Structure 1
């Protein structure tokens, strides 16, 4: 009978960082990674001398978006830790650069991804890291619950 089937022989697939809401986050991170990378490359090639500090920060932001995207996709505890670090640095970066661009606008003669808290990107860079950190915390809790139920 089907009801007598041992369900432990058919373990449920684990929901990881790249499932559910995580997929949407990955898409948004990938789009920002492409956009920020393209923008910073063009800015650095065409007019680096007009805003070297701002354009360097733009390239750093692009690199962080790339690392965060890969870390959200890749499985395993090492990539989970990389995701936490990258998204944490992103959160701090957008707050610091955003505040700095308001306090010292002369450092930002041209806008960057994080200047003015990501205003040029509809404030997505300001909101995204907090959603990313929430998702990482949520999936970590789910992984702990799944591990505890398997151990029992």
Structure 2
């Protein structure tokens, strides 16, 4: 990490040093998991859109949207600070709503999803991590030192 990046992560929104980075301690595992899920969801959606977009456009676009949400949460956790914490909390809540909505939709109307998304069946294809991850991140973001 460059000196500039480290210095930025240690400053709060008011400019004073906080001495805390959201990406340290247990937050480091969250950063890693969100980074992995960013790559997984983006790769999956890109390949699916290139290979056969007409087959399940909704599923592929939802996987791409999940990748964007994961990327933003990863960025927010790495950036640190009060605004990044709030942004990550909002995105984690949106992610959880997405997982629950898409998960329920895939169970009630499977024909709408001829191909799975990252959030299908509450993330069953990813060992339910997509439903557990935002809950864990929200707990960490609320309890971690400010």
Work out whether the TM-score is over 0.5.
yes
TM-score by length of 2: 0.85
Distance in 1 (CA, whole Å) between partners of 2:24 and 2:51 is: 39
CA distance in structure 1 between the partners assigned to 2:128 and 2:76 by the alignment: 22
Q: Return the offset for 1:16.
A: 2.9
Question: Which consecutive unaligned segments of at least 5 residues does structure 1 have?
Answer: 1-12, 144-152
Q: Which has the higher helix share?
A: 1
Shift of 1:22: 0.1
1:63 aligned onto 2:87:
no
Q: 1:47 aligns with which of 49, 52, 62?
A: 52
Q: How much is the aligned-residue C-alpha RMSD, in angstroms?
A: 1.4
TM-fit CA distance, 1:98:
0.3
Q: Report the TM-score when normalising by structure 1.
A: 0.82
1:10 counterpart residue number: none
**Aligned twin of 2:98:** 93
Task: Give the distance between the partners of 1:75 and 1:29, measured in 2 at CA.
Answer: 15
Q: Tell me how far 1:109 sits from its aligned partner.
A: 0.6
Larger radius of gyration: 1
CA displacement at 1:15 relative to structure 2: 3.2
In the alignment, is the contact (CA less than 8 A) between 2:22 and 2:81 conserved in 1? no
1: CA distance between counterparts of 2:25 and 2:116? 33
Q: How many corresponding residue pairs?
A: 130
